[in-house]
Amino acid sequence: MKIKKVFIYLFALAAVVLLVKNASDAILYAKDALRICVEMVVPSLFPFFICSGILIYSGFCEVLSKIFRFCMYPLFRVSPAGSSAFILGIVSGYPLGAITAGELYQNSYLSKTEAERLLAFCNNSGPLFILGSVGIAIYTNIGYGIALYISHILAALTVGILFRFYGRKKHCAPDTSMTTPERSTGEIFDISLQNGIRNILTVCGAVLFFSVISRLLLDIIPMSNFTSSIVSGLMEFVTGTVNVSHLSIPTANKLILTAVIVGFAGISVHAQVMAVIAKYRLSLAPYIVGKALHGIFAGLYMFIYLHFNPITTAVFKPSISLSFASASAFETITAISVVIMCVICALGLCIRGSKKGH
């Protein structure tokens, strides 16, 4: 505990020294980070925060837990109630999956071990960010965004299956039915709006802080453009993704690096998760290991995809003129496809298990 406090003190003091010594640069970098928040982060996440809150507080999670009751435990060894955190995590974005997992644990729908297991794979980047911000805004190609999103979700599923062995002999929560308190439409929207504002401020604050600190550090440490882009991505994945897109390397390599960075999510997102789940007293070790594996698997799946579908002008012609409405349609189709994929995998495991039982 003392070592942890010393580390926190040293980090805070170093950050203060950097900010004071390079005040003019810090202000400039903060303005850039704010621009990223306004142009990319808020449009990508805030509407989803509101919609997800409405779904949670209106009782939609009860429906999800019933639909995915048969597959959550066979695949991930997590109570069916955990399906709400996973589904909301893959369609909404950081850090909603972690928030939902914490709330499920607090309400005794998950055991501590199940909640920690769920944290390892339920906190993911949303389709609106990957398809809209990365695919269209950064790479001007919706095809890239779709490939990145599919790789991202496949990596999350892989991590979830691996983490079914975490704490295998520990207590699991009893199989209970979820119940949501009755609220009026006005109450549901009010709670969702307040939580959405608080969460988006947390996200933007973390993006701004870690973006500024990482850029100040990179200014004093001699690094190549390639290395500095990777380091900035490990610190703050939105800024890192933008920096990687500007590298003078083949587009295929950029996409693989982008998949790794978005999968790992960066210290900025990890700080957000620490902030939102601190009150639940859950261990962050499975989460950190899970996100590291997520980045590796996402990059691997992207590499495999590009190996069989090499980038050519004919196949991946930049489509900046593609409307955002079309991108949204792609998002919906992709999200539905991922859910169907989960169901098929779960059915396969269930059928296999029943055959072994006989």
Check residue 256 and give its pLDDT: 95
Looking at per-residue pLDDT, the higher value among 280 and 157 belongs to 157
Check residue 238 and give its pLDDT: 83
Check residue 116 and give its pLDDT: 92
Check residue 224 and give its pLDDT: 85
- The yes-or-no verdict on residue 126 having pLDDT over 90 is no
Check residue 45 and give its pLDDT: 74
Check residue 25 and give its pLDDT: 92
- The yes-or-no verdict on residue 323 having pLDDT over 90 is no
- Mean pLDDT for 250-275 is 90
- The yes-or-no verdict on residue 325 having pLDDT over 50 is no
- Mean pLDDT for 200-218 is 84
- The yes-or-no verdict on residue 227 having pLDDT over 60 is yes
- Tell me which range, 18-27, 120-129, 210-219, is most confidently predicted by mean pLDDT: 18-27
- Mean pLDDT for 63-91 is 81
- The yes-or-no verdict on residue 334 having pLDDT over 50 is no
pLDDT bucket at 276, cuts 50 / 70 / 90: confident
Q: Which two tokens stand for residue 7?
A: 């580390």
Check residue 333 and give its pLDDT: 46
Check residue 338 and give its pLDDT: 46
Check residue 24 and give its pLDDT: 92
- The yes-or-no verdict on residue 300 having pLDDT over 80 is yes
Least confident span in 69-83, 167-181, 273-287: 167-181
- The yes-or-no verdict on residue 316 having pLDDT over 60 is no
| Whole-number average pLDDT of the chain | 80
- The yes-or-no verdict on residue 209 having pLDDT over 50 is yes
Check residue 58 and give its pLDDT: 81
- Tell me which range, 148-157, 165-174, 203-212, 272-281, is most confidently predicted by mean pLDDT: 148-157
Check residue 348 and give its pLDDT: 52
Looking at per-residue pLDDT, the higher value among 188 and 45 belongs to 188
Check residue 150 and give its pLDDT: 94
Least confident span in 4-18, 175-189, 335-349: 335-349
Quote the percentage of the chain above a pLDDT of 90.
25
